[in-house]
């Protein structure tokens, strides 16, 4: 995977760039991510904030936060989801599908017990989060 990717929202009013590989990539099965994505899970890619650049359309970005853990950013023109800032983790999730030519390379599943889709892919399945991310570190069977 190359170390730099560009992408943006659904209508193209917001353009972003990431300047590195993700710190961690995986699938989140939590209810909040599923509802936000209108999908059974979210393919996340966590980057350091300094590696995520808004190239165009900052004025079109709106933020919604249900909790202090996740500040979800979307284009207010088209409603297209762009990224989620996780200030407590000091990381930003840039959704795999908004980056052109990006190859999502998952390493883990988080909040696997909340999910509605079960995946037998050999990756670790965490009940919540790994310990280093503030979770219990408890894993679940496939």
**Domains, in order of start, for the chain:** 5-133 (2.170.150.70)
Task: Kindly report the backbone phi and psi dihedral angles of residue 61, in degrees, each rounded to the nearest multiple of 5, phi listed first.
Answer: -85, 130
Regarding beta strands 108-110 and 24-28, do their DSSP bridges make them parallel or antiparallel, or are they unpaired?
parallel
Tell me how far apart the alpha carbons of residues 99 and 141 are, in angstroms, rounded to a whole number. Answer: 31
Tokens of 82: 């762009």
| pLDDT tens track for 61-87 | 999 999 999 999 999 999 999 999 999
Model confidence at 53, pLDDT cuts 50, 70, 90, reads: very high
* Calculated CA dihedral for residues 70, 101, 62, 83, nearest 10 degrees: 10
Q: What is the mean pLDDT of the chain?
A: 94
**Confidence (pLDDT) at 1:** 47
Model confidence at 132, pLDDT cuts 50, 70, 90, reads: confident
**Confidence (pLDDT) at 2:** 56
Supply the Cα-derived Rg of the chain in whole angstroms.
Answer: 15
């Amino acid at each position: 995977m190359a170390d730099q990717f560009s992408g943006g929202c659904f209508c193209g009013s917001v353009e972003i760039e990431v300047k590195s590989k993700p710190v961690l990539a995986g699938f989140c099965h939590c209810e909040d991510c599923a509802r936000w994505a209108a999908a059974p899970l979210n393919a996340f890619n966590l980057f350091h904030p300094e590696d995520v650049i808004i190239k165009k359309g900052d004025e079109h970005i709106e933020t919604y936060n249900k909790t202090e853990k996740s500040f979800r950013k979307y284009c207010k023109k088209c409603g297209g989801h762009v990224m989620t800032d996780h200030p407590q983790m000091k990381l930003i999730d840039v959704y795999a599908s908004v980056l052109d030519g990006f190859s999502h390379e998952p390493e883990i599943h988080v909040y696997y017990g909340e999910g509605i889709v079960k995946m037998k892919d050999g990756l670790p399945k965490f009940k919540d989060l790994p310990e280093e991310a503030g979770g219990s570190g408890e894993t679940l069977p496939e």
